[in-house]
Structure 1
Amino acid sequence: MRLGILTGGGDVPGLNPCIRAVVLAADDRGWQVLGFRRGWQGLLDIDPDDPVSVAANTVDLNRERVRGLDRLGGTILHTSRCDPRTAAGGDRTAHVTHVLERLGIDVMITLGGDGTLRFSAHLDSIGVPVISIPKTMDNDVNGTDYCIGFSTAVTRSVAAINALRTTTESHERIAVIELFGRRSGETALLSGFLAQVDRTVIAEVPADLDVLLPLLARDKATNPANYAVLVVSEGAGLVGGAAADMSGSATTRNDGGVGHRIARAIEAAGGGGTVVQELAYLMRAGEPDALDRMVGLAFGALAVQLIERRETGRMVTLTSGNYCHVPADSVLEGAKHVDVERLYDREQYRARLKSVEGMPMFLY
């Protein structure tokens, strides 16, 4: 058996432990693993008749090559945001299947978010054996409660939010901290909840500045240290597109992200100075935390076990705290979002846990 493996989309901590688990489990069975560099782009760049292009875009993975890999962040296979169906020159799915056939790949294991796994589902639909492994710090892949990278992103965010309290308090300002999360506010919601910030704006609920700004002003005024902290998803909207064209400093910045727009609105309303911070790539930098190591290792092992049972066309998942698997095309049914009614107070812009009993560990 010869397996192929790739990582696509944004990198997250936990990918390398998963790669290691796949390689070790395959080696125990006497199977080979070929890693493709730079996600689907690596396959597009391969000419199977050109050994140089094959060598430049693949790497043979064995026990020695993955030694210590579980301790490293990012992905040793590197990554790209590429869907072969929308490549320059048109749909190149046929090229991908040709490369896989010529290189003798029996099953592809793909680690990625919504975009990467949608193409995996497409390959499955045309008969290419695939196992999908969900990863994204936004935790928004449909069909699974948990994606590799989510825990580390939350851990990094909570640490950074709490560190920023010192400078926010020292200058008696309102901190506006923007986190990644274009379609889902799960990372912002959980990070804000664990850091116990004053308010959190998520992607699922547009913020009304006429409501939010007075709340923040009250938070600051009633805090003996005279500061407040707001966490906001990068994909959050403002009611009516408010503040979209606001000028002003936002502490001398003119960036157009929602965090900066809210900060400018705070200052324009007389709320005093702001501390604006986009955590961005720091959320997924560095080594994985304990949970992402564990999930990465478990997802990789489960992928190989499914292949051994000849159960391909599946995506490995965590559902209600249990390792499971679902059809690979589950990702096509939409994106996963925060359960607003159960977990969020849209009037107060805060996490709200109506009932904890019976909930999975990550509240989702």
Structure 2
Amino acid sequence: MKKIGVLTSGGDSPGMNAAVRAVVRKAIFHGLEVYGIYQGYKGLIDGHIEKLEVGSVGDIIHRGGTILYTARCEEFKTEEGRAIAIKQLEKFGIEGLVVIGGDGSFQGAVKLTELGFPTIGVPGTIDNDIPGTDWTIGFDTALNTVIDAIDKIRDTATSHERQFIIEVMGRNAGDIALWSGVADGAESILIPEDTSTIDDVVNRIEQGKQRGKEHSIIIVAEGVGTASDVAAAIKEKTDIDTRVTVLGHIQRGGSPTALDRVLASRLGAKAVELLIEGQQGRMVGIQENKIVHHDILDVLTKKHEICKDMISLAKELSI
């Protein structure tokens, strides 16, 4: 293998640039040429491909987002679109591809592998919802962004003696909500993986009031519903006035933490190693601080599991 490509796809996450840097420099160190594919699978079909040098990825390890950009691509979901993508790869002489993204991006990687094109997936998503890895690139940074925001909101909640409801990202996974809730001592956490209800939230508020506590932080994962809906339900049951904050896309930006930079560097480098070894259709990950790799198809057929012990801990500590 002499030439490989790298692209970022799906939602951006802090640390993607560090992963791109690792892929490029690891490959060049081993004598390979590297081509950056811009705008994800859309750019692959359109031929937005450029050769990257060592200097092309200089001074990007600390930057959020992705210098390769990212875009959704419905055309790639068709046989015709994938055929065009393969022709573009052949045109540039690219023999292997590293795809940095989430499960949607990995579905594209599987399709390329089925067409005989060696592809390796690197998990990059703030949601931390990819099976086969303890952490995904961007989760730690997003988590710290959320924690910082909650810290500030709690100051106001305490000062005004009010209940604040904070909506966080995560798609159908509750990792961001759960981890930030434990880290910030939230009184209630609503996530898709748990059975807690509005009644449970109301009971905690009332229990707090009985011991003289007039404020609380309630964290809602977007996979459960909107913070506004939760606020309306609480209002209907208790007539308690609440304040709603939706953190939104602030969670996806920002300079990556040390953990995300190192994780991205390790995973990106391992992806190149696998291509050099002749591997394909694999996803790299980290488990118990060891870099591992799994069949991407197996990863996509499994369901992400949240830490049940953390759910119990959150409830025990928020009495």
TM more than 0.5: yes
Q: Tell me the secondary structure at the aligned position of residue 125 of structure 2.
A: coil
Percent identical across equivalent pairs? 34
The one-letter amino acid paired with 2:31 is: G
Which residue is equivalent to 1:249?
none
- Asked if the contact 2:129/2:173 (under 8 Å) is kept, the reply is yes
- Asked if the contact 1:174/1:220 (under 8 Å) is kept, the reply is no
Out of 89, 103, 121, the residue aligned to residue 132 of structure 1 is 121
Deviation at 1:94, TM superposition (A): 1.1
- Asked if the contact 2:40/2:72 (under 8 Å) is kept, the reply is yes
Q: Structure 1 351/60 Cα, relative in aligned 2: closer, same or farther at 3 Å? A: farther
Deviation at 1:330, TM superposition (A): 2.5
Equivalent-residue separation in structure 1 for 2:43 and 2:105 (angstroms): 13
- Asked if the contact 2:7/2:100 (under 8 Å) is kept, the reply is yes
Which residue is equivalent to 1:356?
none
Equivalent-residue separation in structure 2 for 1:193 and 1:32 (angstroms): 45
**Superposition RMSD in Å:** 1.9
The one-letter amino acid paired with 2:16 is: L
Q: Tell me the secondary structure at the aligned position of residue 178 of structure 1.
A: strand
Which residue is equivalent to 1:350?
314
More deviation, 2-11/135-144? 135-144
Q: What are the ranges of 5 or more consecutive residues in structure 2 without an aligned counterpart? A: none
Out of 52, 57, 62, the residue aligned to residue 71 of structure 1 is 62
Q: Structure 1 324/351 Cα, relative in aligned 2: closer, same or farther at 3 Å? A: farther
- Asked if the contact 1:131/1:314 (under 8 Å) is kept, the reply is yes
The one-letter amino acid paired with 1:350 is: A
Q: Structure 1 199/24 Cα, relative in aligned 2: closer, same or farther at 3 Å? A: same
Out of 277, 285, 298, the residue aligned to residue 317 of structure 1 is 285
Equivalent-residue separation in structure 2 for 1:319 and 1:330 (angstroms): 16
Which residue is equivalent to 2:149?
160
Out of 156, 159, 180, the residue aligned to residue 169 of structure 2 is 180
Which residue is equivalent to 1:103?
92
Q: Structure 1 59/273 Cα, relative in aligned 2: closer, same or farther at 3 Å? A: farther
The one-letter amino acid paired with 1:103 is: F
TM-score (norm. length: structure 1): 0.82
Out of 210, 228, 234, the residue aligned to residue 216 of structure 2 is 228
Equivalent-residue separation in structure 1 for 2:235 and 2:16 (angstroms): 41
The one-letter amino acid paired with 1:106 is: E
The one-letter amino acid paired with 1:155 is: N
Which residue is equivalent to 2:32?
31
The one-letter amino acid paired with 1:39 is: G
Q: Deviations over 1:291-321 (max 9, x none)?
A: 0000011111111122222223211111122
Which residue is equivalent to 2:71?
80
Which residue is equivalent to 2:105?
116
Deviation at 1:274, TM superposition (A): 1.4
Q: Does 1:308 align with 2:276?
A: yes
Equivalent-residue separation in structure 2 for 1:337 and 1:86 (angstroms): 27
The one-letter amino acid paired with 2:49 is: T
The one-letter amino acid paired with 1:177 is: I
Matches within 5 A, 1:139-218: 139-218=128-207
The one-letter amino acid paired with 2:235 is: E
Deviation at 1:143, TM superposition (A): 2.0
Q: Structure 1 223/103 Cα, relative in aligned 2: closer, same or farther at 3 Å? A: farther
Q: Tell me the secondary structure at the aligned position of residue 350 of structure 1.
A: helix
- Asked if the contact 2:42/2:76 (under 8 Å) is kept, the reply is no
Equivalent-residue separation in structure 2 for 1:196 and 1:208 (angstroms): 19
Which residue is equivalent to 1:280?
248
- Asked if the contact 1:188/1:231 (under 8 Å) is kept, the reply is yes
Equivalent-residue separation in structure 2 for 1:292 and 1:143 (angstroms): 17
Q: Count residues in correspondence.
A: 316
The one-letter amino acid paired with 1:25 is: K
- Asked if the contact 2:143/2:180 (under 8 Å) is kept, the reply is yes
Equivalent-residue separation in structure 1 for 2:305 and 2:315 (angstroms): 14
Deviation at 1:59, TM superposition (A): 2.9
Structure 1 or 2: larger helix share? 2
- Asked if the contact 2:202/2:238 (under 8 Å) is kept, the reply is no
Equivalent-residue separation in structure 2 for 1:352 and 1:94 (angstroms): 54
Q: Tell me the secondary structure at the aligned position of residue 344 of structure 1.
A: helix
Q: Structure 1 324/167 Cα, relative in aligned 2: closer, same or farther at 3 Å? A: same
Q: Deviations over 1:148-202 (max 9, x none)?
A: 0111111111111111011112221111111112211111111111111111111
